[in-house]
Amino acid sequence: MAAITLDSEMTDMKNSPGPDAVFAAKLAEGVFEIQKCGACGAHVFHPRVICPTCGSADLEWVAPTGRGTIYARTVVRRKPERGGDYNVVLVDLEEGVRMMSRVDGMAHDEIAAGLKVSASVGEGADGGPAVIFQPEGGVS
């Protein structure tokens, strides 16, 4: 790994909001973007200050294809009167990053590793905007 050099990116960094705030602001506008490293080409999620692959601060925002594959799935079992069951998944995006999410539009028990899914901006459990996935090819 190359030694880290401080470049003009660092000067910009001082005066701009952090990557978490940038991601949240984009999401609030209905836009899902991840970071890409200008130095090594790796995609980065969650949003970070420096690339965890090479240490560069040269990270730019890019739109992912939104396509991904379920890596693992669980279903939180909850009594119907408390809202019922819901699924929690880990999704591997085509860009090579993983994120936690939820799959809508499919029975919980049918969701399994290997399922192809696509992303959209929907609503999280807290009522805020969140990246949600659906089975690719639409709701079954």
Partner 1 sequence: MSLRGKAAIVGAALAGCGEAHGKSAMEITVEAVHGALADAGVSLGDVDAIATCQPLDMLSGLTLAQELGLNPKFTMNNRMGGSSFLSHTLWAAMLLELRLADTVLICYGSNQRTASGKLMTALGLPTYEAPYKPMFPLSSYALAADRHMTQFGTTREQLADVAVSARAWAQKNPEAFIRDPLTREDVIASRLVSDPLRVRDCCLVTDGGGAIVMRRAETAKDHPRPPVYLLGGGEGTTHRDISEMPDLTVTGAAQSGALAMGMAGVKPADIDVVQLYDAFTINVILFLEDLGFCKKGEGGAFVENGGIAPGGHLPVNTNGGGLSCVHPGMYGIFTLVEAVRQLRGDAGDRQIAGAELALAHGNGGVLSSQVTNILGTESTL
Binding site for partner 1 (CB under 8 A): 20, 45-46, 71-77, 86, 88, 90, 98-102, 112-114, 124-126, 128, 130
Quote the tokens at residue 56.
Answer: 């560069």
Residue 125 contact, options partner 1, Zn ion, none, Cβ 5-8 Å cut-off depending on partner type: partner 1
Scanning 33-41, 68-76, 112-120, 121-129 for contacts with Zn ion by CB under 5 A, the matching segment is: 33-41
37, 50, 91, 97: which one binds Zn ion (CB under 5 A): 37
Q: How many CA atoms lie within 13 A of 3 on its CB side?
A: 2
**Which residues are within 8 A (CB) of 140 and not within 5 positions of it... i.e. 6 or more apart?**
105, 106, 110
